[in-house]
Amino acid sequence: MSDFREALEDANLKDMGYIGAQFIWSNKRDAASIIMERLDKGLCNSSWKTIYPQFVICHLEFWGSDHRPLVLEFPDDSPLFNSVKKGRWFFFEECWVDDTYCKKIVESAWKVEGNNSKVRKCA
């Protein structure tokens, strides 16, 4: 672990911090023997942080795994957001099928959008 920390230091990579729950991993045990840790982190160098100070790492909710997903969020008015938004892809994750709310979310999207919607076009 000390070699890894040294490599991060040599590359001038720093923890970006986060928004959301403190811990992103759980052994999913009962309260008496539960272990929770922050294992995964977003890293950047000082130059990147200077160029994109408004970018932030968000810890999402547990989703069929013992790890919370991490997402890099950036504001809608960012030039990077606008270039990514035009050509971004959607990938359906198999683990979503087992989620309690997945079916409700999909049904709701199909009802609201109508026949000429982006949801129907991707179907």
How high is the pLDDT of residue 21?
76
- pLDDT tens for the 123 residues of the chain, in order: 789 889 988 998 998 888 887 776 677 778 788 787 777 788 999 998 888 888 888 878 777 777 778 788 876 665 555 555 555 556 677 777 777 777 777 777 777 655 555 555 555
Provide the residue ranges of all domains of the chain, joining segments of one domain with +: 2-86, 89-123
The amino acid present at 12, given as its one-letter code, is N
The amino acid present at 20, given as its one-letter code, is G
Query: Cα(97)–Cα(27) distance, rounded to whole angstroms?
Result: 23
CB neighbour list of residue 81: distance below 8 Å, 6 or more residues apart: 74, 75
How high is the pLDDT of residue 88?
59
* Phi/psi of residue 85, nearest 5 degrees: -60, -40
DSSP-derived secondary structure for 66-80: SB--EEEE--TT-HH
Query: Cα(20)–Cα(58) distance, rounded to whole angstroms?
Result: 6
pTM over 0.75: no
